Every structure is written in C-alpha cells, then in structure tokens.
Chain A
Amino acid sequence: MPDLPDGADNLARAVALREVCKTRWGGRFVPAPATTSGHERLRCHSSEVCDLCAWLVQDVGYIFATLVAEERMEDGVTLTYVFQQDSSGSWLDVDVLLDPHERSVPSISPLVHAADWHEREVEDLFGLHFEGHPRLGEFVLHEDWPEGVNPMRRDFDPARALEHRDEQAAWAAPTIVTAPGAFAMPVGPVFSDFAESAQFLLETVGEDVIHTIPRFFYKYRGIEKIAEGQSTGRVLLIAERFSGTAAFAHGLGFCQAVEAILHCEVPRRARALRTLFAELERLRHHAAAITAICGSTALAVANSQAALIEEELLRLSGTVTGHRYLFGLVVPGGLARDLADEHRPLLQAAIGDAAGKLNALYDMLCVSSSFLDRLEEVGVVTAEKAMEYGLVGPVARASGSNRDMRARFPYAGYDTAKPMIPTEHEGDGYARLRVLFREAEQSAALIHAVLEALPDGAIATEPDRTRAGAALGTVEAPLGAAFHWVRLGESGLVERYRVTPPSFTNWHGFHLAAENFAFQDFPIILASFGLSNAECDR
C-alpha cells in the first residue's frame, strides 16, 4: 500500500485519500462525506469508473467487496462499488450516479474480475447494460424469463405473477469447447441425492471434463425485492431464512447494518454472546461440510462419525438457544434470548467433546490413503486466481489468503476474542478440508474463551427507530465474508436490501477448480467447496 499511511485513523485517512486523489487525478473525483458505517466515499462519473476502480485495485491495494445498485424515487440508478482494504481495515465506496434515462455503464469486470457476477446480476435485475462485459444475460433470470422485465426496478410489482415465454427452441448451451465429439454433460437441476438445485454443464469429450459451466439461480426467491417496503422485523425473518445453515451470521449481518443506521450500541454481553453463537454456528456448519466431504468420497464410517458430531452440535444448539439452526436469536440491538447459566457447563463440555471427536476424526482421515488420494491435487485453486476472483472464506484460506472479516474488521466481540486464522497454500481439496478442521478447532477455542469471560448485563437495547439512512453490515459467515447493505427510509421501513453472500462470491470461482478432472471427481470438488445455492441464489 504505497500511497496511504498504514494504521491512520479515519480522519487522517480521509485527508490522505483526498490528497492522493488530488495529485493523482487532478481533482476529478469528488470525495464525499463518509457513510454511516464509516466508509470513505468518492463520487465519479460513469465514464471514469473504470479508471478509478482499476487504480484502486491495482495501485492502492483495495479489494472489490460488492456492488450495490439502487433506484431511488427521485433520481436514476445509483451504483455503489464497495472496496475494502484489509491492511488498514478501511472501506471505500465509489458512487456512480446515473441520470434517469441513462441505461448503460462501462464494465469494470475486464479490469476487476471480482465484479463480473455483480455486474451480470445488476444487468439482469435492473436492466442496466455494462459496456465491455463479454458475458451478459441469462444469469439470475433464465432463458424463459420475459424479455425486458427487470424485477429490481421501482416500477416492477413483486406481487404480480409472471407470464412465461415459450420454451426456447433456439437456446443453445453456452459451450466454449470445440473438439471432435465434444458435448456438454448436464448435471442437475434435480440431483440424485440430497443436493441443492443447480445445474452444471460439464464440457467433455468423455471421461475428462475440460470446462464447467455452472448455471445457478434455480432457487432465486427475490429476497432483495420482497424485502423492500417491509419492516426490519419482517426483513430479519428473511435475512435469517434465505440461507438456513448460516442463519445467525446473516441475521447478524442484517442487524449490524440496521444498528449502524440507528446508531445503536449493543450491550457487551450481547456482543460476547453473538460471538459465541456465531462460532457455534461455524462449528456446526464445518462439521456438516466435513460430513459432506467424507460422504462424497464414499467413506461410510467417517461420514457417519462426522454426521454424529453434526447432529450432536445441532442438539446442543437446540438445547442452549431453543432452535437447532439458531433462528430468532439475533435482533437489532442485541439478542432475543440469553444464554442460561445452567447451560454454560453443558456448552463447555459439549464443545470440548465435539472438538475432541473432530480431532480424532481428523487423525484417522489423515492416514486413510484412499481418502487422501481422492482429495489431494483435486480441484486446485491457485492463490493468484483466488485473489483475482476475490474469493472469501475457507476456500480462499485454503489457497493462501488470510482474509477474514473477524480479524480485519472486528465486529461483535471479536475485538477481544481474537480468532487465529488458519491458512493453507495448496488450494486443493485436502487443503480445504484441513482449513475446515482447523477453523472448527478455532471456533471451539473461541467459544471457550467467550465463556471464560462472559460479561453480565442486558442482552439487548431498544434502538431508536427514528433514524433513516444506509449502512453496510459485514460478517464472516461460515462460508466467508457476507455483506448486508441496508437502506432504511424515514418511516423505518427497508427501502433497499442488498446481500452479497460468500457463496455468491465463491461460486464465481468454482469453475477454476472444476476443470481438467475426471467425471468421478466432480462430487468431491463440489463437496470440498461446500457452497450453498440457497445462499448464492437468494
């Protein structure tokens, strides 16, 4: 990070950024006042967005986080490109205001590849055209969606049932492989086991897969649209339930955004318990991911052992929080339910037990050569690609990245209970498995640490619901960084809710791993990524 001083406080950084902008760009960009969540802001014209974003990513060391498009009543579409800088723990929003009639923006994807799917999504949902993007259309909305109907536009009525176009006879699989006898092997959307609905076209000439085309959004439920105009209480239900296996993390992300808008201070005990529950969810989630990996390699006993641990953690969650998936626990201002004192020893013992069992399982897996053969050097994602695709979570950490919201942008109680971030470098299936095990171990340690120093006091404060504004809530969900961008209107209702879940970010890079492998490795690569379509499709 050559241009900006490290570790400077917000004000100093703002001044420094302003200076750099002035010297580098001759004052072409207008630094705007910081956002509610403390993000620096630059405002630029759509024609300059490519230069600015490329400079930020390539020279200043910012990482693309998310793209928020918003169509407000009075003016046209606003695009907010959110960047994060891990070294300084700072954020920068680049705002592009389009005129009401303006329907075209230059694409930053050729320069900032992490923005690829974000732009495709905005293209489908807002009907904006991204000039220079090589692959637009048929992303969120499939080929039978009516032409010219963009559900996120203001004039779209979410309650209206859609008329579908006829089956597209002219549709052709978007294959790119030309080889004698090449074809695309379709997998899904209905799989042969308990698998989420998604489709993969495996381009092959038989036996070896050359290229994988994922087709998602079979589970698109339009949560961002149906959240509009709803109360925060209602939207919280949606935030928790669009991806039930990471309900607490996403609920927390939404609540943090709302708390930032409402300037609500969360009590210390609630913050500590939020950490505890988030780690409990991560531990259970990783146990489930390990179960899936063992299952994909047909290692039956290991699969059962991991499934036992998973169910025990589910029962533990049910016992101490009332719900096996921690639903209804987090609320703006704190938590809805406290951790009962009599459950503390139970929690301590059960977490210790689960960690011990996971350790024992890991030790056995590490000496099962038939298991390792199927994971090692399978589905490799290089560190360089992981960085360019902006991958997050355990997948990125298995490819040498140490990105973790808990360490870089501490929230809840992570400022005191600091997690150790395990990283591996091979980027293969085995590295991802090791990261899962080590993170699970870390989660157990964090839970113990929180329990050791659990503050007393209230678990919630009633927020002042009169404020309006927009803010970004960030959490490290079990699968990686999640961004919840919320705008509350004067009436206290949600005007825009934008979720960037880690599965969306990481599915984008899935094809890197799903290339040049044999058919029978596909379920293993899929399991070692462990991503959720419910989370991605929203």
Chain B
Amino acid sequence: MSMSAELLLVFFLLCAAGVAASVVAPARSGPTALAVIGAAAAIALLATGAVLMGVEPGFRLELWSMLFGGTMALAADRLSAVLMLGAGLVFLPVSIFSATYLRKYAGHCDLRYFGVCYFVMFAAIVLVFIAGDALSFLAAWEVMSISSYLLVTYDLDREGSAYGGFVMLALGEAGTIAVTIAFILMVIASGSLQFGDWRAVSPHLTEGVAWAVFILSFAGFAVKAGLVPVNSWLPLAHPVAPTNVSALLSAVIVNLGIYGIIRVNLDLVPVHGAVPGLIVLVVGSVSALIGILYATIQSDMKRLLAHSTIENMGIVAAGIGATMIFLASNQPVIAAIALIAALYHLINHAVYKALLFVGTGAVEAGAGSRDLDLLGGLVRAMPWTSAFVLVGVLAISALPPLNGFVSEWLTLQTLLRSAVLSSTAIKIIFALCGVLIALTAGLAVTCFAKVYAMGFLGVSRSAGAADAAEVGWGVRSPLAFLAVFCVLLGILPTYVIPVIDRVAYPLTHASALPALVPPFFLPQAQQAENLPPAFLAEFHDLGAQTGEGMLPGRGLVVLHRGQASNPVVFAMSTSYMVVALAVLLGLVFLVFRLLTLGRRTVRGRAWDGGLRRLWPSLTYTATGFSNPVRVIFHAVLRPTTIEDSTEAVATHFRTAIRLDHADVPIIDRLVLRPPMSGLRWLAELVRRMHVGYVNAYAGYVLLTMLVVLVIGLAILR
C-alpha cells in the first residue's frame, strides 16, 4: 500500500475508534474523547492530503468485485487531496471546539448518539472524496447525507428543528435522486460503474445524454452546494443545528456539492460547449447576490452566516462556470486560473466560515445570544473572541491582505477576462455576472461591517451582552488556529497557488503557474519559461525579486501574464502589501507618538447631543443598520406582514404600535412554493380515494393489478 493509503487507513481506524469511544465513554468525558479522536483523525486526514499533494499523485485500491460493472474501488487524486485538506482544516478546530461546546447538551441529549453520527459523517465525507465508482460514491453520499441530517436535528427541542431538518433531508434526497439518474445514464452509456471507464466514453456521448447528465448532476450537486434555486435548506438547517455542526455544514458539507460538480462535470464527463458553463456561471452569480442580500438583512448570526454560505458557494460556482467556458473557448490557461480561483475560494471560505461559526458559538456562550439586535459592546468583555472574529469578518468581506480578498479578486479578474472570448452574447453575460459579483462584494462589506459593529462595538443592548464573559482557551484555540490560516492563506498566495495548480492541471490540461506566479526568485526558471527581459526588468525595478535567495518559492507577486502586446493583465501582492501596510501603520504610529510626545490624552465619551445618558434602547440596532438595504431591495424581498396593529386609549392616546414583517426568500416564493402547493393539491385529490371502505381498497388493488398487467403485456409485445 502506498503511504497515502496507509495514512488514510489510520484515518478510518481513528473514525472507527471514535465511534467505539463514543459508545463506551462515560457521558462526562465523551466530549473530550470526541475532541481528541476527532482532532487526531483530522490530522491524519491533513497528512494524507499533504502526501497526496506533495509526494504521490494518487492511489487506487480495488476492494471487491461486484456482479455487474467491475470492482468497487477507492481512488484518490489531487482533487480529492485538496478537499481532504479543506475538510481537515475545519474538522481539527471544530473537534476541539466541540469539547467545550457539547457540554451544554450533557444531561438532556444523548452524547453517544452525537459522537457516533459525528465520526460516521466524517468517514463518509472522506469516502465521497475517494470513491472510485458510482456505487461507493452514492453509498458514501447517502451515509453522509443522513448522518448530517441526524446531527442537524440533534437538539430536537429547538424550535424549527424538525422542519429545518426535514427540508434539508428532502431537498438533499431529491438531489441524490437526480445524481443517481445521471449516474444510471452514464452506466448505461459506458456499461460500467467505474469512474475510470466513464472518462473514456465521455467524448463519445450523444448530445442528449451529455446534456441530461450535466443538468441532472449539476442540479443534484447544487442542492448540497446551496446554489439557487435549491438553496432553501441552508438558512433553515443552520439556525437549528448545534453550532459545531453548523460550522461543518457550511465549511465542509457544501464543499461536497462543489466537489461533485468538479468531479462529474469537469473530470469524468467534461461538459461540451459553452452553454453549460454559462448556466453554472449565471447560477453562481445569482446565488452570490441573493445569498448576500438575505445575509445582509438577517440579525440572527447563524442565519446570516448560512445565507453568506450561499453567497460564497455562488462565487465558487461562478469560477467553475468560467472555467468551463474558457475550456470550451480553448483558453486553457485562463480556465486554469479560474479553477484555481474557485478552489482557492472554496478553501478560504471553509476556513473563515468555520472561524465565524465557532466565533458565533463563543458569542452565544459568552453573551447568551446570537441575535445581533441584542448584542453590542462585546469587544470590551470578550477581547480575544472579538479579535479573532474581526479577522474572519475582514476575510469574508474580502479585504486585503486576508484570504477572502485573494480568491475573490482572482475570480473577478478572470470574469473580466471575457475579452478573449469570441461570442458577444457570452461577453455580455460575463459582464453582467461580473457586475453581480462586484455588487455582492460590496454588500458583503455592508453585511459584515454590521456583524462586527452591531455585535462587538457600541453599547450593549441586552443584559446578557452587558454581562458577557470571555470564553476559555478551549474555544479560543480553535479560533486562533483558523484566524492564523485566514492570514496565512491571505498573505502567501504565491505558495498556495502552485499547490492548487497541481489540482487544476489534470482538469484543464494547462498549468497556470507560469502565467500566474512568475518565477521572480528563480533565474533558471525564468530562462526555462522564457520570460521576456523587458517584463522582468520592469518588475525588478518595482522590487518583485526582493527576498530572492532567502525565500523559497517562485515569487511573491500574483499576476496574469498575457501576450506580448499585453504583458501584464493584472497584478497584486498581498505579501508585499502586508509589509507596506505594516511600515505605513508603523510610520503613522511613530509620527503620532512624536507629535503627542509629552501631551496628555483625554478620553471622553462619544458625543450624544447632550443626552442625559445614552441608553441602549436609543442606539442603532442591527436591523436598523441594514434597513436601507431592505428598503432599496424591497421589490426583491417583498416582506409579508405578520402583524400590524395599533392600540389606543380614547382614540388619540396610542399605547402600542406593533409591527412584524417576515421575509419569504424569493427562491421559496418563486421556486419552492408553487410545486409544493401543486403537490398539496394532488395529495388532496388522492386523499379523496381514502374513503375507509374495505371494498373500495380491494377495488384499488384490482385496478392496480390490471394496469400493471396491461403495461407488462405492452412491454412484452
């Protein structure tokens, strides 16, 4: 067995140990056992991913043969590896966080049940990444779906738990059915269950089958990825799920959907033509905008983060769509850049979203609420949590030099590369999608400025927030771990991109490395890649080679090197930026200190217009902060009135005005509700059959048999 396979075996053994430990461990030490074994498993997974990425390009293990379609197999490649790395990066801190978090369930929920589901889900997720045939893929997928459903509905006492879980399961299963049909079509076309055989037949598929496979698999995987119009489960499942499960849902489970899209539609059965790519691009861009729009108007932090997941998955999907289109237009290098951007964003999102969910858990533990309307002023009581969450907020707002900026910037830049395409119609769609993504980026800043300003700054708006206490290192350490990765992924893109490039290369058949990370540090590579001297000289003057000889890697500048006529399409360096920022801030600080030398600093209260005191009820709430967005996008949001009432004494003395509006997500309104009401109508019709007489039911049985007979006869003919 190869080293990676051995490491993976260790991982699965640890998962099995986790299941066993969960069953036998006493309730008191259950969370600790889960944390230790979960973290160990995550480390094993990270090691597997690292080995696959660095040493071995992949492995294939034949398990046992089946009656039909060859043998059941496990196969890992670098696409699996990057997803494993992403999952490991999230599972490690979340497992540690769980040790503290799960204690709140001790006593009224069965922790053994949680532990078993947790490790089964973990193992199933990894199995999905390494499934080498349709059967093992679908089996792993189902186990993952069901175990994650069980985890989401773990706390059944929570309001909406049953409904949220049901929508998640129902939509997920609908998605599985779509994927299964797509797989059946491929099995029929190729005569094999093996993914390897599908690759071989995919160029020879008929147009109809190719389209059917694309539509069905994309629709099926889009459910898990939380793309419109099948995203409704995300904002319902997240608020009811335990916070550690929410983190896994948003940071790992949704990635499986993206993995499915890449695996099936880029690797196994690559799409033909530009139209499928356009569909993915448009779905992604619209998801991004709708996601952030609903995120901005939420005040429940978990619901807000759930909507923001839809947004981020939309950005990833837009990158994948762009990859497909550039591939179809024979632009493999730009396609590779787009795919790198998408995968980079996938990892980044996993890291900062896990950070923000764990941060939400910390806030909930410290201040007793995760409703932004009831928080405020936590920066004083919870300085550590606030600092780590600030990193996450800056990262998700795509502000440099953090990781969200790098991948979102790359995605936007590739969308702007539509100039190389020939079709005007596609260019226009690219431009519109670029606009949607840019608007999304802008709203994201509003949204997360609100999270930080309303949650952590200002006046505490509830007793819980006023008496908030900092969380222990059991929660702070996972936050710190994730925050460090947010920073590292942000300031070292030139080290991350070569790694992801290895994933993209087999799919796009072109390396983006020479175009994206020019070897400013390596003279021999400059000659090998034939970099023009003029180009090098220009960047030499700017100091791009600074660190040459001392630093490993190719350089610290991310740029897109185009043709001779247009040598640099775009360029940036968060690595240098962070140095420049530090120097500038240091200078400002120094100058400030020099100017104020020997002066006394007077601290005063915020100017409040001469109020006697600034009561919390007189300060802005999160809802108030985002209400302008609600007003501007009223036509999209169309809130429904729950309550509008006015009470008065003697006509003129009003004593109460009550207003309550609910936002029905536009997707639910337009996509989910009509078929649901149709189904309900149908069910109503069917219900009439149930008259309660035995004779009638005997009649139905007879009728059914008759119909079956007729159909059977017809087929035999």
Contacts and interface: CB of A to CB of B under 8 A. Distances in A.
A and B touch in the complex (CB under 8 A): yes
B698 interface: no
Given A167-B613, A181-B373, A208-B631, A134 B659 contact: no
B652 A388 contact: yes
Nearest to B653: A134
Given A116-B652, A167-B613, A191-B609, 10 more contacts: A110-B649, A113-B650, A116-B653, A178-B656, A180-B660, A182-B621, A189-B611, A201-B618, A211-B654, A388-B652
B613 A173 contact: no
Interface stretch (B40-48, B307-315, B419-427, B622-630): B622-630
B462 to A, nearest CB: 12
Interface in B87-119: none
18 contacts: A110-B649, A113-B652, A134-B650, A173-B618, A178-B659, A179-B660, A181-B622, A181-B624, A182-B624, A184-B618, A186-B608, A190-B609, A199-B611, A203-B657, A206-B628, A210-B657, A211-B657, A389-B652
B612, B613, B620, B656 interface centre (most CB from chain A within 10 Å): B612
A205 B613 contact: no
Contacts of A173: 615, 617-618
Contacts of B652: 113, 116, 388-389
A146 B495 CA distance: 70
A183 interface: yes
Sort A-B residue pairs by CB-CB distance and give the 8 closest, nearest first. A181-B623, A206-B627, A206-B624, A110-B650, A190-B610, A179-B659, A134-B649, A181-B621
A207 B650 contact: no
A264 interface: no
B565 interface: no
A356 to B, nearest CB: 41
Contacts of B566: none
B547 to A, nearest CB: 49
B620 A188 contact: no
A194 interface: no
A111 interface: yes
Contacts of B653: 109-110, 116, 134-135
Say what secondary structure dominates the interface of chain B: mixed
Contacts of B609: 186-191
Contacts of B299: 180-181
A357 to B, nearest CB: 36
A205 B631 contact: no
B228 to A, nearest CB: 25
B65 interface: no
A178 B659 CA distance: 6
Contact of B626 (A113, A187, A201, A206): A206
Interface residues of A, number: 43
A176 B656 contact: yes
A102 interface: no
Contacts of A389: 652
B305 to A, nearest CB: 18
B651 interface: yes
B524 interface: no
A186 B626 CA distance: 18
Contacts of B621: 181-183, 205-206
Interface string A69-103: 00000000000000000000000000000000000
B612 A188 contact: no
A206 B613 contact: no
Interface string B586-623: 00000000000000000000001111110101111111
A206 B623 contact: yes
A176 B655 contact: yes
B654 A185 contact: no
Contact of B627 (A177, A187, A205): A205
B658 interface: yes
Say what secondary structure dominates the interface of chain A: loop
A175 interface: yes
A18 B309 CA distance: 80
Contacts of A144: 612
Interface string B481-513: 000000000000000000000000000000000
A506 interface: no
B372 to A, nearest CB: 9
A180 B623 contact: yes
Interface in B107-154: none
A319 B201 CA distance: 103
Given A134-B650, A205-B623, A178 B373 contact: no
Nearest to A202: B618
A172 interface: yes
Contacts of A182: 621, 623-624, 659
Given A183-B620, A184-B618, A190-B609, A178 B628 contact: no
Interface string A192-224: 000000010101111110110000000000000
A111 B299 CA distance: 43
Contact of B617 (A172, A190, A191, A388): A172
B69 to A, nearest CB: 55
A171 B615 CA distance: 9
Contact of B373 (A111, A134, A180, A199): A180
Interface in A89-137: 109-111, 113, 116, 134-135
A252 B615 CA distance: 44
Contacts of A172: 615, 617
Contacts of A206: 620-621, 623-628, 630
A99 to B, nearest CB: 27
Interface string A419-459: 00000000000000000000000000000000000000000
Given A110-B649, A113-B652, A183 B657 contact: no
Nearest to B649: A134
Given A110-B649, A184-B618, A204 B624 contact: yes
A199 B618 CA distance: 12
A191 B608 CA distance: 10
A201 B614 CA distance: 12
A396 B627 CA distance: 34
B365 to A, nearest CB: 23
Contacts of A205: 621, 623-624, 627, 659
A206 B615 CA distance: 17
Contact of A177 (B610, B615, B659): B659
Contacts of A167: 612-613
B617 A183 contact: yes
A311 B611 CA distance: 34
A210 B650 CA distance: 20
Contacts of B656: 176, 178
Given A206-B626, A207-B631, A177 B657 contact: yes
Contacts of A111: 650
Interface string A371-400: 000000000000000001100000000000
A191 B611 CA distance: 11
A177, A185, A186, A206 interface centre (most CB from chain B within 10 Å): A206
Contact of B628 (A176, A207, A388): A207
Interface in B637-677: 649-660
Nearest to B611: A186
Contacts of B373: 180-181
B658 A179 contact: yes
